[in-house]
Amino acid sequence: MSYRAPIDDILLALNHGAGFSRAVAAGHMGDYDPDMTAAILEEAGRFAADILAPLNTVGDTVGAKFADGEVTTPPGWIEAYRNWVDAGWGGVAAPEAFGGQNLPSVLNCACMEMWNSANMGFALCPMLTMGAIDALEAHGTETLRNIYLSKLISGEWTGTMHLTEPQAGSDVGALRTRAVPAGDGTYKLSGSKIFITYGEHDMTGNIIHFVLARLPDAPPGTKGISLFLVPKFLVNGDGSPGARNDIRAASIEHKMGIHASPTCVMVMGDNGGATGYLVGEENAGMACMFTMMNRARLGVGLEGVGLAERAYQQALAYAHERKQGRGVGSTTKGSDPIIVHPDVKRMLMTMRAMTMAARVICYATGAAIDISHRAQDAKVRADAVARAALLTPIAKAFSTDIGIEVASLGIQVHGGMGFIEETGAAQYYRDARIAAIYEGTNGIQAIDLVTRKLAPDGASVRALMGEMEPVIGRVEASNNPAFGMTGARLREAFAALERASRWLLETLPKAPNDALAGATPYLRLWGVTLGGCMLADQALAALANADLAHIAPRAVASARFFAENITVTAGGLERTITEGAGGVSGADVALAV
């Protein structure tokens, strides 16, 4: 099944739902020329469709292979990666001084969505590299930046994030990898890491590992973690790869999905220690990690969007093509395509509307990150920092949850064929499952939302809700029958979100476990309410803009479907949060073993 980049949907979400056009017009994106947007995204869409998408199946069926410490990527990967480097896609949002294009990172979000739609197993490699670039750019010394940054940005070398150890997953502070000063300003690292994406591969001449480790005198927990740059090959004075460093892949995991992406067990120190270079201050590794992690969380959210879009496209095509049974009152001779059946329409619209909602939330997160860096006004930048912080857990968790739900519906639309691997729908369902887990499980995202983004004072929640309410008013005022119950559903959900937020703010200090019991439904409540508002906002923009007349009807239909079928769950979610904590704390009796 081929992939077609949904450029119209992407542009609508980016420019209107996510507010990119407004931000550009307000000067918050520097001197970016918005006339470039469509051309860049169309080019990215072609690369995704022509180069990456055709390799998705072979990536799944052949997968990455491990032998004798080496990883072989699937057939075609090396060539595709060379194409990627030549086209410069790794540098879209990277600094010009090191060869990047310095475009707003939200454009890169749209590109990331497309890479993931086309081939998530491939897209993971650049995603990790981009996180490494962020960390190095923000925290690395000038020397390290000069040696490594341009090579990472061009993609000549790739980057990794070494966080997890068997006993240190969600609890990063429990990690044990040791780093000992070598006396020459470098460090010797020893220990092992698990779940290291593209920790080893055959696509580039060097791999630059970013490793969290603990100094000998480090305090326990997260306060005693430092970040180190550990190249696979030490780098000579002329920038060429030199001696092999003491870090190697010991094995790769046998996973349910993303088979093309090698998930490595990495071992350091078998021969005296891997040479590492400190990034940031000693014992300040957590801050560096969050630099990598926050961008990566948004990137993972875009994996959810990308897979959902791909699953939707395939299911939609199948529903138009597969003939079975007849519609009510059909006058066709023979069978009708299954898309005539209301239940099939419901499945497809659920897929479409949830995908669109997750997309616009992710893009809005990317736009907030850009404004936080690019706006001239310090207050605007500070507000955008808070906005990006609030949106990141929602973008990550809501998008990856719906990624799974949409991929599951995609199989269902195919009937029995969906369960046959050759059909392709099953791969999206398997691949999508990981995204709800890594870079902080969705449960951790929800806890982050309640304890750090809503709390302490609810200010950033109030600010965002202050922008949502006028959208609802405009839907109501439009009196456009095509919106159906959209206005009413959004209004109810908004009120539910307001009450739930207040309850959580009041409850968190006095009964933290009661507040935490509602964290996951609270994040979902955000997704269904914010997604609904943003889809309505972009539908109103399409209606108001003559250039968008061709997509206005479907923008309105999608916003309506989302509000009437997804946003409508808000009332139940609210009551789960505000009246359900007792049932969770009282569950111990049922969960004893």
Structure tokens at 213: 């480790």
Q: 254 or 379: whose CB is closer to a copy of itself?
A: 254
The residue among 371, 263, 248, 360 whose CA lies nearest residue 302 is 360
Site for a copy of itself in 420-439 (CB under 8 A): 420-422, 426, 429-430, 433-434, 436-438
Residue 347 binding a copy of itself, by CB under 8 A: yes
Structure tokens at 250: 């010991």
Q: How far is the CB of 435 from a copy of itself (least distance, A)?
A: 10
Whether 367 and 21 have beta carbons less than 8 Å apart is answered as no
Residue 5 binding a copy of itself, by CB under 8 A: no
Q: How far is the CB of 497 from a copy of itself (least distance, A)?
A: 15
The residue among 134, 164, 197, 162 whose CA lies nearest residue 276 is 162
Compute the distance between CA of residue 351 and CA of residue 354 in angstroms, rounded to an integer.
5
Q: How far is the CB of 360 from a copy of itself (least distance, A)?
A: 15
Site for a copy of itself in 477-536 (CB under 8 A): 482, 484-485, 512-514, 516-517, 519-520
Residue 8 binding a copy of itself, by CB under 8 A: no
Site for a copy of itself in 270-329 (CB under 8 A): 316-317, 319-320, 323-325, 327-329
Q: Which stretch binds a copy of itself (CB under 8 A): 112-120, 348-356, 374-382, 461-469?
A: 348-356
Residue 234 binding a copy of itself, by CB under 8 A: no
Structure tokens at 264: 């490595």
Q: 244 or 346: whose CB is closer to a copy of itself?
A: 346
Residue 385 binding a copy of itself, by CB under 8 A: no
Burial (CB < 10 A; 0-12, 13-18, 19+), residue 582, is: exposed
Residue 220 binding a copy of itself, by CB under 8 A: no
Residue 580 binding a copy of itself, by CB under 8 A: yes
Q: Is the dihedral of CA 73, 76, 78, 83 positive or negative?
A: negative
Residue 222 binding a copy of itself, by CB under 8 A: no
Residue 373 binding a copy of itself, by CB under 8 A: no
Q: 37 or 567: whose CB is closer to a copy of itself?
A: 567
Burial (CB < 10 A; 0-12, 13-18, 19+), residue 284, is: middle
Q: Exactly one of 8, 58, 255, 499 binds a copy of itself (CB under 8 A); which one?
A: 255
Max intra-chain CA distance, the chain: 84
Residue 549 binding a copy of itself, by CB under 8 A: no
- For residue 275, what is the enclosing H or E element? strand 274-279
Site for a copy of itself in 185-214 (CB under 8 A): 194-195
Q: 167 or 331: whose CB is closer to a copy of itself?
A: 167
- For the CA atoms of 51, 53, 59, 60, the dihedral, rounded to the nearest 10 degrees, stands at 180
Q: Compute the half-sphere exposure of residue 544: CA atoms within 13 Å on the CB side of its CA.
A: 11
Q: 15 or 408: whose CB is closer to a copy of itself?
A: 408
Residue 349 binding a copy of itself, by CB under 8 A: yes
DSSP bridge partners of 231: 208
SS3 4: coil
Structure tokens at 130: 């981009």
DSSP bridge partners of 265: 251
Q: 136 or 338: whose CB is closer to a copy of itself?
A: 338
Residue 218 binding a copy of itself, by CB under 8 A: no
Q: 152 or 472: whose CB is closer to a copy of itself?
A: 472
Helix pair angle (552-565, 519-544), 10° resolution: 160
Residue 57 binding a copy of itself, by CB under 8 A: no
Q: Exactly one of 346, 452, 462, 502 binds a copy of itself (CB under 8 A); which one?
A: 346
Place of tokens 């609210």: 574
Q: Is the dihedral of CA 59, 421, 397, 8 positive or negative?
A: positive
Site for a copy of itself in 129-158 (CB under 8 A): none
Residue 341 binding a copy of itself, by CB under 8 A: yes
Whether 234 and 184 have beta carbons less than 8 Å apart is answered as no
Active site residues: 439
Residue 564 binding a copy of itself, by CB under 8 A: yes
Burial (CB < 10 A; 0-12, 13-18, 19+), residue 416, is: exposed
Cis omega (within 30 of 0) on the bond before 456?
yes
Q: Exactly one of 27, 34, 88, 443 binds a copy of itself (CB under 8 A); which one?
A: 443
Q: How far is the CB of 321 from a copy of itself (least distance, A)?
A: 9
Compute the distance between CA of residue 147 and CA of residue 143 in angstroms, rounded to an integer.
6
- How many C-beta neighbours within 10 Å does residue 389 have? 19
Q: Exactly one of 72, 412, 480, 545 binds a copy of itself (CB under 8 A); which one?
A: 412
Residue 343 binding a copy of itself, by CB under 8 A: yes
Q: Exactly one of 8, 42, 202, 253 binds a copy of itself (CB under 8 A); which one?
A: 253
Q: Exactly one of 57, 72, 141, 164 binds a copy of itself (CB under 8 A); which one?
A: 164
Q: 17 or 418: whose CB is closer to a copy of itself?
A: 418
Q: Which stretch binds a copy of itself (CB under 8 A): 75-83, 238-246, 265-273, 580-588?
A: 580-588
Q: Exactly one of 33, 142, 254, 510 binds a copy of itself (CB under 8 A); which one?
A: 254
Contacts of 589 (CB under 8 A, 6+ apart): none
Query: What size, in residues, is the chain?
Result: 593
Q: How far is the CB of 422 from a copy of itself (least distance, A)?
A: 6
Structure tokens at 314: 């395939």
Site for a copy of itself in 91-120 (CB under 8 A): none
